[in-house]
Structure 1
């Protein structure tokens, strides 16, 4: 995720031609990254992935656990390609095929470079199969949090934001390249494997159980999950027919039962405020509180380490509209995820007997929101639309000051126009990607008679605490 383009010298080109049996090289290697400002090696250039078909077999009975995988990736070339990259950190690659033919490959860091036997042409749809195995890694982020493949007390969980999914399957791991997914996960009998989307099949044979999951709507790889462990599961539907699937570690069952029963209520409230739900399933995964250091908006069913409270559940479910359906174009646009989900918390509290959004805004501005002075000061550390580096994309300004930007817009346009803006934004970029410029343009177009210059300059992009609320 850090080199914007694979540079090929004349000598390298000749060597590659020799490896393929000679002949001219018309195509060029795809880029080993999409030039993300914070994770430049994230994703890959030269193609767009449409579907992942992942077959995984996990044995947790070693220190780190052993994973065997086959990834069948369907993609479309966006330029003539002599080679292309996939993101994969660790694990041993045993074979790669492109369109059913053996392909040459090599590894360099997180880059798996594949050279197909035949060049790929611009617009061509192709299928690449990667067979791999090993002990998947836990990745430490620039902010020192852990993601990737995390061993748990009774299994493991795959968490991907922002770069962790490359620890357990190869792909183009950047939110700008979404795809649909099929996952078949085999684990020892007695354990469960919970993933995104809808459970299509569950079969046990010779002491091992395979769980097959299907996600029909586009999904960014950082919100893909597989959670292996002992689960108490429940399946139901909401009044409007939405599938609800929850998986709870038995140690968290009692503490989680009451809050998870509110999922249908939260989904109804979300649709009233944010528009139609963009997916076919919802739910939650609740693991033990020591199994991960954070909750994550994994698509369809958010992941929680320990039983969540209602406000945290609201936050992660709001992400299904803002962050999962409308995903950021780059990791600089993280505030479009977290500012919206944080403001959803404010709206929920406002609608359910808590502080109004205005009261929350005032407390943040006045420095009385947190008991700790440093925490109050941290809100103004940098503009929400411009974190200083990758270590700060999940810091307080992205969440709280991002939500304050939305409240300033609400005060400017009025409540009726603001609700239209919330649902309209979600609809305009449904299953797509957007950046800060897209959002500011959308707001200005939605309210052409209003002047938002001060909000953009002082609250969204300005340094420090604005002079007045």
Structure 2
């Protein structure tokens, strides 16, 4: 059994949102699809999908050649235009698409309707457009047809908005969930089949269908608009999950305004997809193993896409930071509201590490970066979130909240660009911050890097018992940087907070206090994305984790060693190294690393409990049961049940840990 714990802000989100955040390859879009009418049959016993999709689209140029993306597991049997002329096609497996060479070109701005008939088996990840992830699979007990799975012919993933009417036929003992009215539109068919009809009439992304042997929808007491669809296996936590979803949905509705629909269907996804969450209008799709109390942040991030992704969407790949970043920041804002400032500050530190891990391209040029790469994911999610966090600091809470609501209202059912964000921010900012916003966006959207702050100062005593004057300068290494920066001055008496306008590499300040300053801290509340020695450790560890996820343990060890070079007592870096050695069955080296983690700085706190659990497992697999039980006992004594660590330790005290056989 492999443990892959990340700090709470990263766990289950950064790696799971490939299917949410990743967008289509950066090629010029040829057509704009406006509407679908899809009729599909799912045969779970044979993993087959057979469908007819009527696609209405507009040509964006004069076209003699047209391409649509379509899952490689599906084969076109017939494609016709509005005059019923058959259109020959060719499969381009390298980019999961089909191409049509047209005998009669399409004129620019012409509206066209083509009918696609296709069939195929959707089984594993081999045919998926997203490597290593089952984005479309027809199976028992749950079939998943995610919008990123290209199970119907499409263009402009998460940028090309459309309406959709869908008729989905499944075995009669299955329930189908989609966007728009479905359950009420159920129709019983011959041969023990049933049909569900869905109609989403607003331009958006109603392209996800999940069908399975679900129980009757589960709700929480007094909550009728949140329904949870689960199999028997995950029934126990469904009510709690519905209650948590209700809290998060209400919080975001009050923060952002009413969503496009007041209904949310939380749907269980299979555990072997390779991702933790996905979304569609009215749908929050969560992997079965994540439907528990420890997944509140994953749930809130996914719910946030009802606004940031569904109500407004990126106009291009260069604008993906807006919706991905704001969904991440909405997650953090709910964390702040529900768990307090300390939890929020801890999460900001982790998001900052993600923002700096691959910060070599400006956010507004990410269209030229592979959208499935760790860089694209980290930048759009983590740096995008930090841009909104810093913008909140610049604008103040009231103006920031007004700004968010204005964005959602003004661009509802539309694509949004980075320039639109800047325009609305300037229009809604107060007089104090308005002049700062143009350089703010130039720095954080069109630039790279983060300042490394320094502080040099001298304290002078004032005469006649008037206190002290501190004369100093904030230094940093980005010549073009300009932002207000907070200083916390801790004195013999009260602590004072001052705001200093920092511009360029050396910004002077003079502050008078009654008590003698004992300590001066730059940006004590972590409002700014900045480079620090602590973040250097987190960045190296994060890059190592992503390399492990890609199967490159050797390169990951190099990154973890960089973290130890920056902080020899890093518990997190030692834990990660131990994790690699454990997976390689190098048990002595793994044990040494887990002990180093226990002797380290204890950051993050969960490294203690999980190091004991891992040591217990090592002793179990090497036949030292007494020593294993002692480690499990020490794990229980920490009373830290992060990711179920204490539960795991108690179970292993009763029954020795046995390692799963390698595939």
TM-score (norm 1): 0.78
Task: Confirm or deny: 8 A CA contact 2:355 2:379 kept in the other structure.
Answer: no
SS in 1 for 2:229: strand
SS in 2 for 1:102: coil
SS in 1 for 2:258: coil
SS in 2 for 1:400: helix
Name the counterpart of 2:330: 344
Distance of aligned partners of 1:183 and 1:233 in 2 relative to their CA distance in 1, 3 Å threshold: farther
By relative contact order (CA 8 Å, sep 6+), the higher-ranking structure is 1
Name the counterpart of 2:592: none
Task: Confirm or deny: 8 A CA contact 2:277 2:286 kept in the other structure.
Answer: yes
User: How far off its partner does 1:210 sit?
Assistant: 1.4
SS in 2 for 1:395: helix
- The counterpart of 1:58, out of the listed 32, 36, 42, is 42
What is the count of residue pairs matched by the alignment?
416
Quote the Cα distance in structure 2 between the aligned partners of 1:358 and 1:80: 51
Instruction: Give runs of aligned pairs for residues 355-374 of structure 1, distance below 5 A.
Output: 355=341, 359-360=345-346, 363-364=349-350
Structure 1 alignment gaps of length 5 or more: 1-35, 368-374
Deviation sequence 1:309-364 (CA, Å, 0-9, x none)? 22222111111111222111223332212211111122112222423687247634
- The counterpart of 1:183, out of the listed 158, 166, 171, is 166
> Is 2:378 the partner of 1:389?
no
Moved more, 195-204 or 109-118: 109-118
Quote the Cα distance in structure 1 between the aligned partners of 2:42 and 2:279: 23
Task: Confirm or deny: 8 A CA contact 2:38 2:54 kept in the other structure.
Answer: yes
SS in 1 for 2:77: strand
Moved more, 275-284 or 338-347: 275-284
Quote the Cα distance in structure 2 between the aligned partners of 1:217 and 1:237: 29
Q: Which has the higher strand share?
A: 1
Q: Which has the higher helix share?
A: 2
SS in 1 for 2:275: coil
Distance of aligned partners of 1:39 and 1:179 in 2 relative to their CA distance in 1, 3 Å threshold: same
Quote the Cα distance in structure 2 between the aligned partners of 1:262 and 1:118: 55
Structure 2 alignment gaps of length 5 or more: 1-21, 454-527, 529-663
Pairwise CA RMSD of aligned residues?
Answer: 3.4
Name the counterpart of 1:13: none
Distance of aligned partners of 1:37 and 1:324 in 2 relative to their CA distance in 1, 3 Å threshold: closer
User: How far off its partner does 1:285 sit?
Assistant: 1.0
Quote the Cα distance in structure 1 between the aligned partners of 2:278 and 2:255: 22
Name the counterpart of 2:234: 252
Distance of aligned partners of 1:143 and 1:80 in 2 relative to their CA distance in 1, 3 Å threshold: closer
Structure of greater Rg: 2
Name the counterpart of 2:595: none
TM-score (norm 2): 0.56
User: How far off its partner does 1:247 sit?
Assistant: 1.8
- The counterpart of 1:332, out of the listed 318, 326, 342, is 318
Deviation sequence 1:292-315 (CA, Å, 0-9, x none)? 422112222121102052222211
Distance of aligned partners of 1:174 and 1:413 in 2 relative to their CA distance in 1, 3 Å threshold: same
Distance of aligned partners of 1:106 and 1:143 in 2 relative to their CA distance in 1, 3 Å threshold: closer
Name the counterpart of 1:273: 255
Where in structure 1 do 4 or more consecutive aligned residues deviate above 6 Å?
Answer: 115-118, 140-143, 235-239
SS in 2 for 1:406: helix
Name the counterpart of 1:150: 137
> Is 2:357 the partner of 1:378?
yes
User: How far off its partner does 1:112 sit?
Assistant: 3.0
Name the counterpart of 2:437: 452
User: How far off its partner does 1:251 sit?
Assistant: 1.2
Name the counterpart of 1:213: 198
Name the counterpart of 1:33: none
